[in-house]
Structure 1
């Protein structure tokens, strides 16, 4: 994987070279292996024309005084030769044979030398911009830094002066320049993992490509990537992008400053898993629900399944572990506020009829108590902790399952100003939590996906079967509600106040044969009735406002608006919609 990564960044740098218009390198085709990628990296390192990563590659691939080859190339070539001698199935080697190889051929030291030679290259930030938006002349980008040990990095938000050309693609930053890494390295959904992963090129065929994850999962790539790979190898140029932060720093400098802080934290021993603060009963419950059934101690299984085999964590991961599995006191100390407040209110003049305030509990215990409260008060069939793995059921069950899981996964647990709330009224249920949506509200119905604000919480919930593919929850909720002929869920994401509200209206929509429309001689679909209702509530609403409020796609909303205009039910002036004047006293 090291060699594949070096080849990926080298080929992107080769495309951004200055001059050298007639240059090309050997084509990457067929089933690709260690040697193919090593050859690609070496060819590009030997190119004499300037390109962004030239000095970084030269440090490991070009010989210094007294050397025949660069230290990285020599080490990787030695490892390649050893691999060729042993074959690909290294797991069949027994312990005595492995120990003998370590003593005689020293592959661990060779790998250390390979890494040391390209240390500068490996320190350059690798990242993905999931989404970027222009807000009040500022470009806000949601970024994933792929520089830690975790396969699930938390997103952060940066403000940049220029947007990146290809959101969703992995980039590497070299000072103020950005190099796009596809088609050799891509960031895409892996169904088996129910999440996004870095994918390394593994095979190139005629109009076909295949990729592989670090874990060994194979994924088919887009057909057009074969031509892109051939073009880059043939010398096609692809300019580097130039992007700086709003404060004037470039992304490589910003990462360097962050990396030093992380290293200082690690040197102080702050990255250890706080086992003494975790509740053994919760851990045992979690482990018992994993499939396939794991072997080993509960702590080993947590490290293997949840932390990708790691035994050290960063501060954000530590918080999530304590919140997931902590003792009541530890979870409270980490959160520094109540966890959840659930209320039933049947009379607005009264405070509440039934209430559950959860002050001291970890997230799994909170989920259990919340489900018991909701099942008792909503009388939703199938709603229980044990039954929460079911992905089918009544619309009521689907809505509560997806809404509650969304609340746990995407909540901002660093916000100490307010706890999560669930308010049950006769006609609606409102779920509220700290943390605005990281995805534009208009994209949520389509399953607009992003890395969760709390990646470990999201992974833990998926591992026990309480959630599926990232970004699918609210799409399922919309689908269930539409199928039940109810008003579409109302979503409000407030960035300034940093909160998120989901409102589920339990009342059925007017059927197409509703008496009023029957008298008027008009038949309305459920979505048309919903748009009409929203226009009545929001006079002079625009297409954009109605799209956001309805959670529907813009083209579907536009089609409904055109139909309602044709039926003389709505009027449009200057892009703003209102109920037709002759109907304003009727509906």
Structure 2
């Protein structure tokens, strides 16, 4: 049962269940059993609300347990609502599954949550300080773990519904794709995967559960948010409902989500406003549930190894010590104490396991791969990825052979330190050093190189053996290339859109020690500082065909063409904002993409498109093959501009 829950149940339940087996005392064990029962009920409540909102007959009034779902919510509130919706005689997507789990006489889960709620009320809510003898007696006489096991086994049909986050939409060759995080198993932030779907979802950055009919939106009962103190994205569960504010709780963090939903989002649902199921399937015709069951079967039968022990002794001990030392200096010990986390600070492995892995002793193959990249030895890393980590090149002239070149095979943390040393040696930048990388402010050169370098590390596709990440230093220009096309469109990238890191554990490791920012808006910041320094706009290219990503930072000043110039010479009425576009194109004979113009002007894509259409209408620019050009006969005129 333990293996099945940890590897195949929805993330909130799997994580809470795993906490039971990570406890160090009988009192903690009893506490985590009852906490898991409540988390399970809260999750089921979110499913019940979403399913009722998608009912076939929208005229059916919501039950009182739903309309009165207000105030500080406790275990009993969530259970009452689950029971109320399970008992309704109206068709909704999960009606049969709830009825089988909680009303059917043969269900082993029937009445068990009520028993655990009664026990919770009898013994109190914070059991970590409970006398060990008393806790042992309760565990032996009441046997709450067996009761909980009957619950999780009895609600299996509901827990087989795949929980996933729709992170971003993409369109490729006229087919809709989503970047999603499949949140099944206790891993809090899995690696994103791209899947082709039949249609676009109504929302991005939202949690859904897949069914045989499509996908149910779980927002705003469950939300996906940034846990600042853990430097991780995670699921938050509703905790308090008020007219003016909604309060959420995470399973592991004490900080609220960075962008909580507005109360109206939930209050409308509680009043019975229908939210139809989104009739979307995979592009091959399978439902999300069918596809997950195929993967689930491989996991259960052992054909896919999902959980592995970390071979800490095989990792580079020097890197482990270096990282844990920085991590300890950055951590808020008060928050750790509030969470009841105790750590042996003299043991770097224990520090990293507790903080970076949330106390897990076993990890997924994806996490193990990222841990090896972060802390492993060079020989093992090269065996795994089949190439070097970084190729560093420097040239004193714009053409010719490289004057200096280094190929790095060390782990990511060691390679990052060597890359910084290489850059500062051949292109000195004030403030750029490993010791100073935690500083988020500085010169345009420092910020741009820092963000581009971290982007190269956390978004690189380490499964691609064709492309070695490169850092090229030439006069006036720093170029970084790596395997891994952007997970969001180029348009969204330059509009400030963010996506989950391709390597979430690597990203989290760097965020925890302050080397990467929590918001994940690095490229937007690069464009901002470069623009403020009046530099030529960064060139950002994402190549789906060759799975590559490239950013060029040209430090030469940008020649600005004033709007008065165009008025005097051509009689054209050009706004100052549109004049910026003409100025950019005047400095780019080869033309510029929409994303590059957005980057150079600091304007969103919608406004840039409108201005470019106006400039096309005035016969000042052309648009061909996704690139904007200044009219050929205006190139000489542009060179005359002051």
TM-score (norm 1): 0.90
Q: Does 1:162 align with 2:199?
A: yes
Q: Does 1:553 align with 2:590?
A: no
C-alpha displacement at 1:346, in angstroms? 2.5
- Residue 356 of structure 1 is matched in structure 2 by 406
Find the residue that maps to 2:458 and give its secondary structure.
Answer: helix
Find the residue that maps to 1:388 and give its secondary structure.
Answer: coil
Find the residue that maps to 2:225 and give its secondary structure.
Answer: strand
CA contact (8 A) 1:509 1:529 kept: no
C-alpha displacement at 1:71, in angstroms? 3.8
Tell me, in whole angstroms, the C-alpha distance in 2 between the residues paired with 1:453 and 1:489. Answer: 22
C-alpha displacement at 1:431, in angstroms? 0.2
- Residue 634 of structure 2 is matched in structure 1 by 583
Q: Deviations over 1:42-61 (max 9, x none)?
A: 01111122222122212321
Find the residue that maps to 1:175 and give its secondary structure.
Answer: coil
Tell me, in whole angstroms, the C-alpha distance in 2 between the residues paired with 1:6 and 1:538. Answer: 59
- Residue 481 of structure 1 is matched in structure 2 by 530
Tell me, in whole angstroms, the C-alpha distance in 1 between the residues paired with 2:96 and 2:286. Answer: 22
1:106 pairs with 124, 130, 143, which one? 143
- Residue 534 of structure 1 is matched in structure 2 by 585
Tell me, in whole angstroms, the C-alpha distance in 1 between the residues paired with 2:260 and 2:444. Answer: 39
Find the residue that maps to 1:202 and give its secondary structure.
Answer: strand
- Residue 344 of structure 1 is matched in structure 2 by 394
- Residue 88 of structure 2 is matched in structure 1 by 47
Tell me, in whole angstroms, the C-alpha distance in 2 between the residues paired with 1:162 and 1:10. Answer: 25
Find the residue that maps to 1:469 and give its secondary structure.
Answer: coil
Q: 1:551 to 1:412 in 2, by over 3 A?
A: farther
Q: Does 1:334 align with 2:380?
A: no
- Residue 434 of structure 1 is matched in structure 2 by 483
C-alpha displacement at 1:585, in angstroms? 2.4
Find the residue that maps to 2:370 and give its secondary structure.
Answer: helix
Q: Deviations over 1:191-236 (max 9, x none)?
A: 4444432121111112321111112535379898544444434433
C-alpha displacement at 1:30, in angstroms? 0.7
Tell which deviates more after alignment, 17-26 or 511-520. Answer: 511-520
1:5 pairs with 43, 48, 56, which one? 43
Q: 1:218 to 1:318 in 2, by over 3 A?
A: closer
1:419 pairs with 468, 473, 483, which one? 468
Tell me, in whole angstroms, the C-alpha distance in 1 between the residues paired with 2:591 and 2:481. Answer: 28
- Residue 370 of structure 1 is matched in structure 2 by 419
- Residue 58 of structure 1 is matched in structure 2 by 99
Tell me, in whole angstroms, the C-alpha distance in 2 between the residues paired with 1:448 and 1:262. Answer: 34
- Residue 467 of structure 1 is matched in structure 2 by 516
Tell me, in whole angstroms, the C-alpha distance in 1 between the residues paired with 2:523 and 2:538. Answer: 9
CA contact (8 A) 1:211 1:218 kept: no
Tell me, in whole angstroms, the C-alpha distance in 2 between the residues paired with 1:47 and 1:514. Answer: 67
Tell me, in whole angstroms, the C-alpha distance in 2 between the residues paired with 1:488 and 1:576. Answer: 15
Find the residue that maps to 2:147 and give its secondary structure.
Answer: helix
Tell which deviates more after alignment, 81-90 or 377-386. Answer: 81-90
Q: Does 1:394 align with 2:432?
A: no
Q: Does 1:18 align with 2:68?
A: no
Q: Deviations over 1:319-358 (max 9, x none)?
A: 1111100012111111210111111122355211111111
CA contact (8 A) 1:490 1:550 kept: no
CA contact (8 A) 2:248 2:257 kept: yes
Q: 1:527 to 1:419 in 2, by over 3 A?
A: farther
C-alpha displacement at 1:84, in angstroms? 1.4
CA contact (8 A) 1:9 1:181 kept: yes
- Residue 444 of structure 1 is matched in structure 2 by 493
C-alpha displacement at 1:276, in angstroms? 3.5
Tell me, in whole angstroms, the C-alpha distance in 2 between the residues paired with 1:534 and 1:101. Answer: 75
Q: Does 1:36 align with 2:80?
A: no
Tell me, in whole angstroms, the C-alpha distance in 2 between the residues paired with 1:432 and 1:301. Answer: 33
5 Å-filtered alignment, 1:218-229, equals 219=256, 225-229=262-266
Q: 1:415 to 1:584 in 2, by over 3 A?
A: same
C-alpha displacement at 1:23, in angstroms? 3.4
Tell me, in whole angstroms, the C-alpha distance in 2 between the residues paired with 1:465 and 1:256. Answer: 39
Q: 1:89 to 1:527 in 2, by over 3 A?
A: farther
Find the residue that maps to 1:288 and give its secondary structure.
Answer: helix
CA contact (8 A) 1:482 1:488 kept: yes
2:430 pairs with 381, 388, 391, which one? 381
2:546 pairs with 497, 515, 533, which one? 497
Tell me, in whole angstroms, the C-alpha distance in 2 between the residues paired with 1:281 and 1:581. Answer: 59
Q: Does 1:123 align with 2:160?
A: yes
Find the residue that maps to 1:72 and give its secondary structure.
Answer: coil
Residue ranges of structure 2 left out of the alignment (5+ in a row): 1-38, 334-341
CA contact (8 A) 2:166 2:180 kept: yes
C-alpha displacement at 1:475, in angstroms? 1.6
- Residue 409 of structure 1 is matched in structure 2 by 458
CA contact (8 A) 1:536 1:579 kept: no
Q: 1:411 to 1:272 in 2, by over 3 A?
A: same
Q: 1:571 to 1:447 in 2, by over 3 A?
A: closer
CA contact (8 A) 1:42 1:73 kept: no
Q: Does 1:304 align with 2:333?
A: no
Tell me, in whole angstroms, the C-alpha distance in 2 between the residues paired with 1:473 and 1:543. Answer: 19
Residue ranges of structure 1 left out of the alignment (5+ in a row): none
Q: Does 1:256 align with 2:293?
A: yes
Find the residue that maps to 1:80 and give its secondary structure.
Answer: helix
1:143 pairs with 170, 180, 184, which one? 180
Q: CA RMSD in A?
A: 3.2
CA contact (8 A) 2:461 2:484 kept: yes
C-alpha displacement at 1:528, in angstroms? 4.1
Q: 1:331 to 1:288 in 2, by over 3 A?
A: same
C-alpha displacement at 1:383, in angstroms? 1.2
CA contact (8 A) 1:570 1:577 kept: no
Tell me, in whole angstroms, the C-alpha distance in 2 between the residues paired with 1:280 and 1:223. Answer: 40
Find the residue that maps to 1:201 and give its secondary structure.
Answer: strand
Q: Does 1:83 align with 2:124?
A: no
Q: 1:550 to 1:158 in 2, by over 3 A?
A: farther
Q: Does 1:295 align with 2:347?
A: no
CA contact (8 A) 1:528 1:564 kept: no
C-alpha displacement at 1:270, in angstroms? 6.0
Tell me, in whole angstroms, the C-alpha distance in 2 between the residues paired with 1:539 and 1:145. Answer: 42
CA contact (8 A) 2:394 2:473 kept: yes
C-alpha displacement at 1:177, in angstroms? 2.1
Q: 1:155 to 1:73 in 2, by over 3 A?
A: same
- Residue 337 of structure 2 is matched in structure 1 by none
When the two structures are aligned, how many residues end up with a matched partner? Answer: 581
Q: 1:124 to 1:555 in 2, by over 3 A?
A: closer
